[in-house]
Amino acid sequence: MGNRLYVLGAGPGDMEEVTPAVSAAIASSRAVACAPRHLHIAAGHPNVIEMTSFKETFERLREELKLGDAAVVVSGDTGIFSLLPLIKKNFPDDEITVLPGISSLQSLCAKAAETWQEAVILSGHGREIGGAKILDAVEHNRAAIFFCDAQKNPAWLCALLAEAGLGAVEAVVGERLGAKDERVSRGAARALAKESFDTLSIVLLINKDFTERPPLLPEDADFIRAAGVPMTHEEVRAVITAKLRLTPESVVWDLGAGTGSVSVAAAQLCRELHAVEINGEAAALIRANAERFRLHNIKVYEGSALSVIDALPDPDAVFVGGSGPELSMIFERVAARGAGIRLVVSAVSLKTIALCTQELAGEKFTGFDAAQVAVSRIKTVGKTQIWQAQNPVVIFSAVTGAAKGE
């Protein structure tokens, strides 16, 4: 058995909150690596490695492990947004012992007298995170916790909430928790958006009036409608949503979005939804339905599909529900974005069905499939009920096969 590498949770930073087990592991280790702001935790140890470069620190630890046990001190708790995964990757053959610490999350919730077992935990600290993901978490949960950095700081976060109509959400901001000059501020997000905060901050957001998530496939009657604006009905919408094969990280285009019923269904399953609609009244309906279902990841573009496509991010899936004479060119533009994009098209007219069959079964696409959805609904006639057939809809699906740039 080789020597042991300890990964130790430092807690918020105050020595009083460092666990006895962590202190004992530091004392028994031949060498201790820690970031500059944690040097006080290893004060008095004869062999402290100041962690300024991961590569150099890990090389030094490998040498120390040849001679005895070594330790790495990480901020907060080892199990939440810590260096533990990176350490395990770089020391795959070493025996690693992990000792937890009190996280800043736990510390802030304790100071706020709030529980966190149901909170959604998010981080913008040194990583990308979309505003829509944050808004969705706050909108549909009583509590959310956000780890900040210099750019995605508490004021930025609170301003994001205020701009989205969530300014009344209560925010508890913990700055430099565990330090002698720590500060905890509490108030409505709209008020704290005007304040300045330390870059080393964490925010607890409490939404006592959070909204329940809408049903995955709302009924047609749940949508705001307008005469003359088409809507994909719920049975067909269910098949389209399934054919899109969405994941939580999918980026989706809805071209010719109409009322926005497919946009609403897909937005609940994907990261971001870009709805394009040429009709101004319909575009307003999409925005209204996104607001009705409290979905923050739907972005609406008013214009023809071809005039907007170049401004859209690369998609993982595309639904075309209405396009007119642009359909063939839309297929070309989607295929030009690269391989692996799933394309789903609904067609009613024989002309559109023929075009989709010819082009989606062609060389630019793979996995061609088509399914006809024929729905009949009960209709009351006098004292009895009969079946009334609706117009059948053909759902085409295929995947782009061309490499990007070809």
Question: Which tens digit of pLDDT belongs to each residue from 241-272?
Answer: 999 999 999 999 999 999 999 999 999 999 99
Which of 63, 83, 102 terminates a domain? The answer is 102
Is 215 contained in some domain? no
Q: Which residues contact 206 (CB under 8 A, 6 or more apart)?
A: 114, 142, 143, 169, 170, 171, 172
Q: Does 404 have pLDDT greater than 50?
A: no
DSSP for 57-78, please give it.
HHHHHHHHHTTS-EEEEESB-T
Whether 125 and 52 map to the same domain: the answer is no
Is 214 contained in some domain? no
Q: Does 144 have pLDDT greater than 80?
A: yes
Is 140 contained in some domain? yes
Whether 292 and 361 map to the same domain: the answer is yes
**Domain span at residue 370?**
220-400
Whether 256 and 367 map to the same domain: the answer is yes
Structure-token pair, residue 122: 């998010």
Q: Which residues contact 45 (CB under 8 A, 6 or more apart)?
A: 26, 27, 29, 32
What tens digit of pLDDT does each residue of 173-226 get?
A: 999 988 888 999 999 999 999 999 998 899 999 999 999 988 888 889 999 998
CB 123, CB 30: distance < 8 Å = no
Whether 75 and 184 map to the same domain: the answer is no
Is 377 contained in some domain? yes
Which of 102, 131, 146 terminates a domain? The answer is 102
Is 405 contained in some domain? no
Q: What predicted TM-score, i.e. pTM, was given to this entire model?
A: 0.83
Give dist(CA 385, CA 178) in Å, integer.
Answer: 71
CB 160, CB 221: distance < 8 Å = no
Whether 249 and 383 map to the same domain: the answer is yes
Q: Where are the alpha helices (DSSP H) in 257-299?
A: 261-267, 280-292
Residue 76 is part of a domain; what is its CATH number? 3.40.1010.10
Question: How many domains does the chain fold into?
Answer: 3
What tens digit of pLDDT does each residue of 20-63 get?
A: 999 999 999 999 999 998 899 999 999 999 998 999 999 999 99
Whether 197 and 249 map to the same domain: the answer is no
Whether 161 and 52 map to the same domain: the answer is no
Whether 266 and 315 map to the same domain: the answer is yes
Residue 336 is part of a domain; what is its CATH number? 3.40.50.150
Is 310 contained in some domain? yes
Whether 177 and 228 map to the same domain: the answer is no
Whether 282 and 368 map to the same domain: the answer is yes
Q: Give the count of alpha carbons within 13 A of 228, CB side only.
A: 5
What tens digit of pLDDT does each residue of 342-398 get?
A: 999 999 999 999 999 999 999 999 999 999 999 998 999 999 999 999 899 999 999
Which of 83, 102, 121 terminates a domain? The answer is 102
Q: Give the count of alpha carbons within 13 A of 152, CB side only.
A: 18
Structure-token pair, residue 13: 């930073």
Is 212 contained in some domain? no
Is 213 contained in some domain? no
Residue 128 is part of a domain; what is its CATH number? 3.30.950.10
DSSP for 146-168, please give it.
EE--SSS-HHHHHHHHHHTT-TT
How distant, in Å, are the alpha carbons of 242, 269, 335 from that of 246? Answer: 8, 6, 18
Whether 330 and 194 map to the same domain: the answer is no
Q: Which residues contact 133 (CB under 8 A, 6 or more apart)?
A: 122, 271, 297
Q: Residue 169 — very low, low, confident or very high, per pLDDT cuts 50/70/90? A: very high
How distant, in Å, are the alpha carbons of 258, 277, 322, 328, 330 from that of 325? Answer: 16, 15, 10, 7, 10
CB 272, CB 251: distance < 8 Å = yes
- SS3 of 297, please? coil
Whether 358 and 227 map to the same domain: the answer is yes
What's the confidence (pLDDT) of residue 343? 97
